[in-house]
Amino acid sequence: MRCLVTGAARGIGRAIAQRLAHDAVAHGGAQLALIDQHHGELDMLADELHTLGSRALVLTGDLCDPALTPRLVVAALEAFGGLDAVVSNAGFAIPGELATYELASWDRVFAVNVRAPWLLAKAAHAALKDSRGAFLLTASISGTHATSPLGAYSPSKAAALMLVKQLANEWGTDGIRVNAISPGLTLTPGTAAAHASPAARRQREQRVPLRRLAEAQDMAGAAAFLLGRDAAYITGAELVIDGGLGNTLMGSLQMSGWQAAGAR
């Protein structure tokens, strides 16, 4: 598989690259273009993937720059001669309340979480059409559940989910599948501070029906499925990977008294 992965240095992006390389061992290895701002960590990942028989191209840059994404795709195409998949995984949040949120923060969050995936998909369209390939976006359960105090993050992920549906609708006739994964509470370097308190971590784990927080590898398995042949008839889909957390709203409410009143 020839695949470009953004946000590949850490967390979910790193796990996806590792999983794709592992899955390709029996087929002579994968060709992976790894994009992130953390150059040193990308180099270490590239060395790891090389030991698995895969080829890794390390690319760096700020996805807020609209001119970067076409250059990334061109570099991958020159190195690999084509692309079978693109994983738009890079994303971030700037905390804050919207009543006092800075315009620059709003624009930066949307630039990375929505504009960059669109520009990446646009630049890769011809290559993915040639290979009848797949585009995968890492969204979030925050795209359908408002999340304080993350400011523009939830609105940007909601927009990213609609971007996936729009691309899938427009590009289906080109043989390109476009899907999203929406992680729930996941242990990554980016969320380490939120889970640093043992009490806070236990509280979150108790809210999840599976009684654990996700690992990045949980997301990588779902990503590999959506990029692979077993998902050949899936497009425009959001695969929620949250351990059942999204189904717990009513269960989290105090339900005593409802039996007497009768549920309606």
**Phi and psi for 104 in degrees, rounded to 5?**
-60, -35
- The two tokens of residue 117 are 């995936």
Name the active-site residue from 18, 153, 154, 242: 153
Instruction: Tell me if residue 101 is catalytic.
Output: no
- The two tokens of residue 15 are 């796990």
Query: DSSP characters for 105-152?
Result: HHHHHHIIIIIHHHHHHHHHHHHHHHHT-EEEEE--GGGTS--TTBTT
Handedness of CA 219, 220, 226, 230 (dihedral sign): negative
Host H or E run for residue 87 = strand 85-88
Q: How far apart are CA 93 and CA 109, in angstroms?
A: 6
- The two tokens of residue 54 are 């895969």
H helices of the chain, in order, are 11-23, 39-51, 68-80, 103-110, 116-131, 153-171, 198-207, 216-227, 258-261
Helix 11-23 crosses helix 39-51 at what angle (to 10 degrees)? 20
Give residue 69's identity as a one-letter amino acid code. Answer: T
Helix 11-23 crosses helix 216-227 at what angle (to 10 degrees)? 50
Q: Which residues are catalytic?
A: 153
